[in-house]
Chains A and B, each alone.
Chain A
Amino acid sequence: MKHLTRRLALPILLLCAGPALAHNPMCECAPVDAEQIKCTGGFSDGSGAPGVTLDVIGYDEQVLVGSKLGDDSTLTFKRPDGEFYVLFDAGPGHVVEIDHADIGEP
Protein backbone atom coordinates (compact mmCIF):
# COMPACT_ATOMS: atom_id res chain seq x y z
CA MET A 1 0.00 0.00 0.00
CA LYS A 2 2.78 2.35 0.95
CA HIS A 3 4.53 1.48 -2.27
CA LEU A 4 1.43 2.27 -4.32
CA THR A 5 0.92 5.63 -2.59
CA ARG A 6 4.48 6.56 -3.30
CA ARG A 7 4.10 5.65 -6.93
CA LEU A 8 0.88 7.61 -7.32
CA ALA A 9 2.09 10.65 -5.39
CA LEU A 10 3.65 12.47 -8.31
CA PRO A 11 0.78 11.96 -10.80
CA ILE A 12 -1.74 13.02 -8.15
CA LEU A 13 0.28 16.11 -7.27
CA LEU A 14 0.52 17.03 -10.94
CA LEU A 15 -3.23 16.65 -11.34
CA CYS A 16 -3.90 18.85 -8.30
CA ALA A 17 -1.56 21.56 -9.54
CA GLY A 18 -3.79 22.64 -12.40
CA PRO A 19 -3.44 26.25 -13.48
CA ALA A 20 -5.57 28.74 -11.61
CA LEU A 21 -8.43 29.22 -14.03
CA ALA A 22 -10.19 32.54 -14.07
CA HIS A 23 -13.92 32.27 -13.82
CA ASN A 24 -15.27 35.63 -14.78
CA PRO A 25 -19.03 35.97 -14.62
CA MET A 26 -20.85 36.36 -17.89
CA CYS A 27 -24.43 36.92 -18.94
CA GLU A 28 -26.17 37.19 -22.28
CA CYS A 29 -29.64 38.49 -22.91
CA ALA A 30 -31.62 38.19 -26.11
CA PRO A 31 -35.25 38.90 -26.99
CA VAL A 32 -37.39 35.79 -27.50
CA ASP A 33 -40.30 37.73 -28.99
CA ALA A 34 -41.71 41.24 -28.75
CA GLU A 35 -42.67 40.75 -25.11
CA GLN A 36 -40.12 38.38 -23.64
CA ILE A 37 -36.40 38.50 -22.91
CA LYS A 38 -34.28 35.45 -22.14
CA CYS A 39 -31.06 35.80 -20.16
CA THR A 40 -28.41 33.11 -19.79
CA GLY A 41 -25.78 33.32 -17.08
CA GLY A 42 -22.59 31.43 -16.46
CA PHE A 43 -18.88 31.66 -15.85
CA SER A 44 -16.06 31.81 -18.33
CA ASP A 45 -14.65 28.48 -17.15
CA GLY A 46 -17.73 26.86 -18.70
CA SER A 47 -19.74 26.31 -15.54
CA GLY A 48 -23.38 27.29 -15.37
CA ALA A 49 -25.04 29.54 -12.83
CA PRO A 50 -28.27 27.90 -11.63
CA GLY A 51 -29.81 29.72 -8.69
CA VAL A 52 -27.80 32.91 -9.15
CA THR A 53 -29.70 36.14 -8.61
CA LEU A 54 -30.75 37.99 -11.74
CA ASP A 55 -32.53 41.29 -11.25
CA VAL A 56 -34.03 43.64 -13.76
CA ILE A 57 -33.59 47.16 -12.44
CA GLY A 58 -35.00 50.41 -13.76
CA TYR A 59 -32.85 53.47 -14.27
CA ASP A 60 -34.48 54.85 -11.10
CA GLU A 61 -32.96 51.86 -9.16
CA GLN A 62 -36.38 50.22 -8.68
CA VAL A 63 -36.13 46.42 -8.93
CA LEU A 64 -38.65 45.55 -11.64
CA VAL A 65 -38.02 41.79 -11.77
CA GLY A 66 -36.24 40.13 -8.85
CA SER A 67 -35.57 36.50 -9.61
CA LYS A 68 -33.05 33.68 -9.80
CA LEU A 69 -31.78 31.69 -12.75
CA GLY A 70 -33.38 28.28 -13.26
CA ASP A 71 -31.66 24.90 -13.34
CA ASP A 72 -30.65 25.52 -16.97
CA SER A 73 -29.00 28.87 -15.94
CA THR A 74 -31.60 30.85 -17.86
CA LEU A 75 -34.45 33.18 -16.97
CA THR A 76 -37.18 34.44 -19.24
CA PHE A 77 -39.08 37.55 -18.22
CA LYS A 78 -41.47 40.12 -19.67
CA ARG A 79 -39.71 43.16 -21.11
CA PRO A 80 -40.44 46.06 -18.78
CA ASP A 81 -41.51 49.44 -20.07
CA GLY A 82 -38.99 52.22 -20.07
CA GLU A 83 -35.27 52.15 -19.46
CA PHE A 84 -33.77 49.31 -17.45
CA TYR A 85 -30.71 47.14 -17.04
CA VAL A 86 -30.22 43.48 -16.19
CA LEU A 87 -27.95 42.70 -13.25
CA PHE A 88 -26.47 39.22 -13.02
CA ASP A 89 -25.41 39.12 -9.36
CA ALA A 90 -23.18 36.21 -8.33
CA GLY A 91 -22.00 38.08 -5.23
CA PRO A 92 -20.22 41.35 -4.46
CA GLY A 93 -17.81 42.22 -7.26
CA HIS A 94 -19.06 39.33 -9.39
CA VAL A 95 -21.73 41.11 -11.36
CA VAL A 96 -22.55 41.66 -15.00
CA GLU A 97 -24.70 44.55 -16.13
CA ILE A 98 -26.54 44.50 -19.43
CA ASP A 99 -28.19 47.71 -20.56
CA HIS A 100 -31.56 47.52 -22.27
CA ALA A 101 -30.00 49.18 -25.32
CA ASP A 102 -27.66 46.20 -25.70
CA ILE A 103 -30.47 43.63 -25.71
CA GLY A 104 -32.00 44.77 -28.96
CA GLU A 105 -35.35 44.17 -30.57
CA PRO A 106 -36.58 40.81 -31.87
Chain B
Amino acid sequence: MSKAQAVQVSPLKQFWLKWRFHINILLILIPLGFMPKYFADAAMFRGDSGLGANQVSDIQVGPYTLDLAELRDEAPRADGPAGHFKLFNAALCKACTTEVKAVYLRIGKPRSLRAAGTIFFGAPYRMITSLPVPPRTRSDAQVWITIEGWDGSMHQASVPLAQASPATVAWLEKQGGTK
Protein backbone atom coordinates (compact mmCIF):
# COMPACT_ATOMS: atom_id res chain seq x y z
CA MET B 1 0.00 0.00 0.00
CA SER B 2 1.40 3.28 -1.04
CA LYS B 3 1.89 5.88 1.61
CA ALA B 4 2.18 8.75 -0.81
CA GLN B 5 -0.23 11.56 -0.07
CA ALA B 6 -1.61 14.02 -2.54
CA VAL B 7 0.16 17.35 -2.03
CA GLN B 8 -2.22 20.27 -1.65
CA VAL B 9 -1.56 22.69 -4.49
CA SER B 10 -3.44 25.96 -4.96
CA PRO B 11 -5.45 26.26 -8.21
CA LEU B 12 -3.29 29.19 -9.33
CA LYS B 13 -0.10 27.18 -8.91
CA GLN B 14 -1.75 24.28 -10.69
CA PHE B 15 -2.64 26.52 -13.61
CA TRP B 16 0.91 27.84 -13.75
CA LEU B 17 2.44 24.39 -13.63
CA LYS B 18 0.16 23.19 -16.38
CA TRP B 19 0.44 26.11 -18.80
CA ARG B 20 3.83 27.71 -18.14
CA PHE B 21 5.40 26.17 -21.20
CA HIS B 22 2.68 27.50 -23.51
CA ILE B 23 2.65 30.93 -21.86
CA ASN B 24 6.36 31.27 -22.48
CA ILE B 25 5.91 30.34 -26.12
CA LEU B 26 3.25 33.06 -26.33
CA LEU B 27 5.73 35.60 -24.92
CA ILE B 28 7.98 34.89 -27.88
CA LEU B 29 5.12 35.04 -30.39
CA ILE B 30 3.63 38.38 -29.28
CA PRO B 31 6.66 40.50 -30.35
CA LEU B 32 6.66 38.73 -33.71
CA GLY B 33 3.28 40.30 -34.42
CA PHE B 34 4.86 43.76 -34.16
CA MET B 35 7.78 42.94 -36.43
CA PRO B 36 6.19 44.11 -39.75
CA LYS B 37 5.43 47.55 -38.29
CA TYR B 38 8.90 47.73 -36.76
CA PHE B 39 10.63 46.94 -40.04
CA ALA B 40 8.35 49.33 -41.97
CA ASP B 41 9.22 52.15 -39.53
CA ALA B 42 12.91 51.30 -39.64
CA ALA B 43 12.88 51.42 -43.45
CA MET B 44 11.02 54.73 -43.39
CA PHE B 45 13.38 56.45 -40.96
CA ARG B 46 16.40 55.07 -42.82
CA GLY B 47 14.96 56.40 -46.08
CA ASP B 48 14.71 53.01 -47.78
CA SER B 49 11.00 53.49 -48.45
CA GLY B 50 11.46 56.98 -49.89
CA LEU B 51 11.10 60.44 -48.39
CA GLY B 52 7.62 59.83 -47.01
CA ALA B 53 4.00 59.79 -48.14
CA ASN B 54 2.47 61.91 -50.92
CA GLN B 55 5.81 63.12 -52.19
CA VAL B 56 5.83 66.27 -54.33
CA SER B 57 9.01 66.12 -56.39
CA ASP B 58 11.15 68.83 -57.95
CA ILE B 59 9.41 71.90 -56.58
CA GLN B 60 11.17 74.85 -58.15
CA VAL B 61 12.06 77.40 -55.46
CA GLY B 62 14.01 80.15 -57.18
CA PRO B 63 17.17 78.56 -58.59
CA TYR B 64 16.83 75.51 -56.35
CA THR B 65 14.64 72.43 -56.42
CA LEU B 66 13.28 70.52 -53.48
CA ASP B 67 11.25 67.38 -52.80
CA LEU B 68 8.58 67.57 -50.13
CA ALA B 69 6.72 64.71 -48.46
CA GLU B 70 4.75 64.18 -45.30
CA LEU B 71 6.34 61.72 -42.89
CA ARG B 72 3.14 59.71 -42.52
CA ASP B 73 -0.13 59.83 -44.40
CA GLU B 74 -2.18 60.86 -41.37
CA ALA B 75 -4.00 63.78 -39.76
CA PRO B 76 -2.04 66.35 -37.72
CA ARG B 77 -1.14 65.28 -34.21
CA ALA B 78 -2.03 67.31 -31.12
CA ASP B 79 0.78 68.64 -28.96
CA GLY B 80 -1.05 69.94 -25.90
CA PRO B 81 -1.81 73.65 -25.79
CA ALA B 82 0.63 74.34 -28.65
CA GLY B 83 -1.93 73.04 -31.14
CA HIS B 84 -1.73 70.46 -33.92
CA PHE B 85 1.43 69.61 -35.83
CA LYS B 86 2.25 67.73 -38.99
CA LEU B 87 5.68 66.30 -39.75
CA PHE B 88 7.10 67.01 -43.20
CA ASN B 89 10.30 65.75 -44.81
CA ALA B 90 12.23 67.56 -47.50
CA ALA B 91 15.24 66.82 -49.67
CA LEU B 92 17.30 69.50 -51.41
CA CYS B 93 18.75 68.97 -54.84
CA LYS B 94 22.33 67.73 -54.75
CA ALA B 95 23.77 70.84 -56.34
CA CYS B 96 22.11 73.26 -53.93
CA THR B 97 23.05 71.80 -50.55
CA THR B 98 26.14 74.01 -50.23
CA GLU B 99 24.30 77.19 -51.21
CA VAL B 100 21.21 76.89 -49.05
CA LYS B 101 21.37 78.20 -45.50
CA ALA B 102 17.88 77.38 -44.29
CA VAL B 103 14.54 76.05 -45.51
CA TYR B 104 11.27 77.07 -43.88
CA LEU B 105 7.72 75.79 -44.21
CA ARG B 106 4.50 77.63 -43.44
CA ILE B 107 0.80 77.37 -44.22
CA GLY B 108 -0.08 80.60 -45.96
CA LYS B 109 2.33 83.13 -47.43
CA PRO B 110 4.92 84.35 -44.92
CA ARG B 111 4.78 88.03 -44.01
CA SER B 112 8.57 88.27 -43.67
CA LEU B 113 11.70 86.14 -43.45
CA ARG B 114 11.50 86.40 -39.68
CA ALA B 115 8.06 84.83 -39.74
CA ALA B 116 8.86 82.38 -42.54
CA GLY B 117 7.46 79.51 -40.51
CA THR B 118 9.04 76.43 -39.07
CA ILE B 119 12.62 75.52 -39.97
CA PHE B 120 13.81 72.25 -41.49
CA PHE B 121 16.65 70.51 -39.69
CA GLY B 122 18.72 67.44 -40.35
CA ALA B 123 20.79 66.26 -43.30
CA PRO B 124 20.03 68.21 -46.51
CA TYR B 125 18.90 65.06 -48.31
CA ARG B 126 16.40 64.25 -45.58
CA MET B 127 15.38 67.22 -43.48
CA ILE B 128 12.40 67.20 -41.17
CA THR B 129 10.17 69.81 -39.62
CA SER B 130 7.06 69.98 -37.50
CA LEU B 131 4.52 72.24 -39.21
CA PRO B 132 1.84 73.84 -37.02
CA VAL B 133 -1.61 73.49 -38.59
CA PRO B 134 -4.03 76.14 -37.33
CA PRO B 135 -7.49 74.53 -36.99
CA ARG B 136 -9.05 77.35 -39.01
CA THR B 137 -6.86 76.72 -42.06
CA ARG B 138 -8.93 76.69 -45.26
CA SER B 139 -8.83 73.48 -47.23
CA ASP B 140 -7.60 75.35 -50.32
CA ALA B 141 -4.60 76.74 -48.39
CA GLN B 142 -1.09 76.68 -49.81
CA VAL B 143 2.03 75.38 -48.10
CA TRP B 144 4.80 77.92 -48.64
CA ILE B 145 8.43 76.92 -48.85
CA THR B 146 11.00 79.64 -48.15
CA ILE B 147 14.66 79.03 -48.96
CA GLU B 148 17.29 81.35 -47.54
CA GLY B 149 20.65 81.22 -49.30
CA TRP B 150 24.07 81.87 -47.81
CA ASP B 151 24.29 84.83 -50.18
CA GLY B 152 21.35 86.43 -48.34
CA SER B 153 18.86 85.75 -51.10
CA MET B 154 15.34 84.54 -50.37
CA HIS B 155 13.24 82.36 -52.65
CA GLN B 156 9.68 81.20 -52.22
CA ALA B 157 7.32 78.69 -53.77
CA SER B 158 4.04 77.13 -52.77
CA VAL B 159 2.30 73.79 -53.05
CA PRO B 160 -1.42 73.20 -52.41
CA LEU B 161 -1.97 71.67 -48.98
CA ALA B 162 -4.40 69.23 -50.60
CA GLN B 163 -1.51 67.89 -52.68
CA ALA B 164 1.11 67.87 -49.92
CA SER B 165 -1.14 66.29 -47.32
CA PRO B 166 -4.64 65.10 -48.27
CA ALA B 167 -5.10 63.68 -44.77
CA THR B 168 -4.64 67.16 -43.27
CA VAL B 169 -7.27 68.63 -45.59
CA ALA B 170 -9.66 65.81 -44.67
CA TRP B 171 -8.97 66.54 -41.00
CA LEU B 172 -9.60 70.27 -41.51
CA GLU B 173 -12.88 69.58 -43.27
CA LYS B 174 -13.91 67.31 -40.43
CA GLN B 175 -13.21 70.14 -37.97
CA GLY B 176 -15.45 72.32 -40.10
CA GLY B 177 -13.74 75.50 -38.92
CA THR B 178 -15.49 75.15 -35.59
CA LYS B 179 -12.43 75.54 -33.41
Report yes or no: B85 in contact with A24, Cβ–Cβ below 8 A: yes
Report yes or no: B114 in contact with A24, Cβ–Cβ below 8 A: no
1/0 per position for B23-57, CB-CB distance to A under 8 A? Answer: 00000000000000000000000000000000000
| Complex contacts, A94 vs chain B, CB 8 Å | 118-119
A47-94: which have CB < 8 Å to B?
57, 61, 85, 87, 89, 92-94
| Complex contacts, B130 vs chain A, CB 8 Å | 22, 24
Q: Which of A44, A85, A96 contacts B111 (CB 8 A)?
A: A85
Given A93-B104, A93-B117, is A24 in contact with B111 using a C-beta cutoff of 8 Å? no
| Complex contacts, A103 vs chain B, CB 8 Å | none
Given A22-B85, A61-B111, is A93 in contact with B79 using a C-beta cutoff of 8 Å? no
Count, A-B residue pairs, CB within 8 A: 47
| Complex contacts, A24 vs chain B, CB 8 Å | 79, 82-83, 85, 130, 132
In angstroms, Cα B116 to Cα A87, docked, is 11
Residue count of chain B within 8 Å CB distance of chain A: 21
Please classify the interface of chain B as helix (H, G, I), strand (E, B), loop, or mixed, using the class held by over half of its residues: mixed
| Complex contacts, A22 vs chain B, CB 8 Å | 79, 85, 130
| 21 CB < 8 A contacts A-B | A22-B79, A22-B130, A24-B79, A24-B85, A24-B132, A25-B82, A26-B81, A28-B81, A43-B82, A44-B79, A44-B80, A61-B111, A87-B115, A92-B102, A92-B119, A93-B104, A93-B116, A93-B119, A93-B121, A94-B118, A95-B115
**Which B residues form the contact surface with A (CB < 8 A)?**
79-83, 85, 102, 104, 111-112, 114-121, 129-130, 132
